[in-house]
Amino acid sequence: MLFDRFVNEEAFRADFVRPLLTRLGFVSVAELHGAQEFGKDFVFSELTPFGFLRHYAAVVKHEKKINQTNTALCGTILGQVGQAFSVTPQLPDSDATQRVSNVIVFNSGVITDNARTWLRSAIDQERYGRNVHLLDGERLFQLDLTTTFHRGEQLIPRLKGIAHEIDMNLAVWTNISKHLPAFSEGRGSFTTALQNFIAAPFLLDQVPLNEIAILIQECRIIDRICDRYMMAFSPKGDQREQEIKTLRDTISGAVMRAKNIKARVMASLATFQLLSTKES
């Protein structure tokens, strides 16, 4: 649940709402929370296709559940919406003031159906109509994933690349283990997608960066040992036996690590696939 990710409203504003507005392409995002907010926690603008700016205000709440029975909270929201429309904010980096044309209510938790119906009825009575939008935690979570997806067009192919690379490595390592103490596998480990992730990481709360870095190191150890013993003149005796043991141990750890990474990657892919089936 989105609500559980943030300790308070301040963290929700700073770590979720503001970055989301930026990723959505809004400009001049400014936080007004405090004595001069007049109902508006943020103001932000959109450059329309016609070349003029449309101005928005955000009312931000960090409530686990907004219910009709909590009349004080619902009344506070309605009051903030009214102030947001009636009091013109000063735009950032400008002396100009402009009225907002839309108000978005962000809540990190649930907005129940009865609260939504009650608020919508009251908003319509005030003639704000569909210029006010109520976004709860579930909708914001979906929106956050959508913006992440659109921000990185290569996100899904990169995730699939990591999964495919892990599958190829598992096949290589299985073949190496199968033929030991002989060395007959010359393909080497595949690390391009893994190294690209290290160079430009993403979804760090879902894909383990440190684990991928360690897996790359294990790939290098496996390849170096195999390369050394596929040469015509390779070490013999105790050194060979010790390095075969090192190879077996490294492959065993790499297999476990790779399978865990792939499970995390596939879970991320499933999230995007689930999102694509939902209504926007």
Q: What would the pLDDT profile of 53-102 be if each residue is shown by its tens digit?
A: 899 999 999 999 999 899 999 999 999 999 989 887 666 666 667 788 99
142 shares its domain with 67: yes
Domain count, the chain: 2
Rounded Cα–Cα distance for residues 33 and 27 (Å): 18
Q: What is the pLDDT of residues 93-134, one digit of tens each?
A: 666 677 889 999 999 999 999 999 999 998 888 778 789 999
Per-residue DSSP letters for 198-221? HHS---TTTS-HHHHHHHHHHHHH
191 shares its domain with 72: no
Residue 27 CA: distances (Å) to CA of 31, 35, 57: 12, 23, 12
142 shares its domain with 272: no
Closest CA to 211 of 166, 257, 164, 144: 257
Per the structure, the complete domain to which residue 215 belongs is given by 155-277
236 shares its domain with 125: no
Average pLDDT of the residues of the chain:
87
Q: What is the pLDDT of residues 232-275, one digit of tens each?
A: 777 788 888 999 999 999 999 999 999 999 999 999 888 766 54
> How big is the CA angle at 23 (ends 48 and 86), to the nearest 5 degrees?
55
* The pTM of the whole model exceeds 0.75: no
Q: What is the CATH number of the domain that holds 29?
A: 3.40.91.30
Closest CA to 217 of 195, 249, 196: 195
Q: What is the pLDDT of residues 193-211, one digit of tens each?
A: 999 999 988 888 889 999 9
